[in-house]
Amino acid sequence: MKLIANQITNLTDARYFAARGCFALIFDLDNPNLAETQVPAIVEWISGPHIYVHTLQPERIAPAIASLAEGIWTDAPGWALPIQRLRTWDPAYPKDSDDAIWVVRQKDWPEFLAGMHRGQEVILWVETPDLQWIDTAVEYGIWAIMIDGGEEESTGVKSFDGYDDFIDRIEALSAE
């Protein structure tokens, strides 16, 4: 199982999640707390994780960011890039998947589970790093769990206490 960090808006989160071995970091280009010029500057200071971007307007991705992105999370119809694509699962969407990996919100998990096909690549997006969701992900063979980064208390200062046990558990499972 992989760990993905979403809503990366600052170097503190990026460095923490990269050091903890996250599979990917997602930069939300529609987030008002993230200027597009920050993405290359942040990525320059980390190594290891894949870089994904989230946007509702993929046609507006700057070339500097497009060259960094290994994946895109967009629900924009008819959009295709030669990179991995993530798509938000919603009860209103058709249940047949294209080549996208489904991102399923914690609140939508019960409804998604009713129609889930084993072996389908799924990212379970949890609101808080709660150990219960790791057990759920293991039970259903989830490809990845996604947790959100957040705002710094002040520049370069943030507590990751809530994340440490969660990430330790995922690391232990990955080592087995």
pLDDT, residue 155, reads: 83
CATH 3.20.20.70 fits 2-175, yes or no: yes
CA distances from 75 to 47, 83, 170 (A): 28, 15, 28
pLDDT, residue 117, reads: 63
- Beta carbons of 74 and 56 less than 8 angstroms apart: yes
Q: Which residue has the tokens 């991995």?
A: 84
pLDDT per residue as tens, the chain (176 positions): 999 999 999 999 999 999 999 999 999 999 998 998 999 999 999 999 999 999 988 888 888 888 898 888 888 776 666 677 888 888 776 555 566 788 999 999 998 888 776 667 899 999 888 999 999 999 988 999 999 987 778 888 888 888 999 999 999 988 77
Q: pTM of the entire structure? A: 0.90
- Residue 27's contacts (CB-CB under 8 Å, 6 or more residues apart) are 8, 9, 34, 39, 42, 51, 52, 53, 54, 65
- Beta carbons of 88 and 103 less than 8 angstroms apart: yes
pLDDT, residue 125, reads: 95
Task: Report the distance separating Cα 32 and Cα 11, nearest Å.
Answer: 16
Looking at residue 3, its amino acid is: L
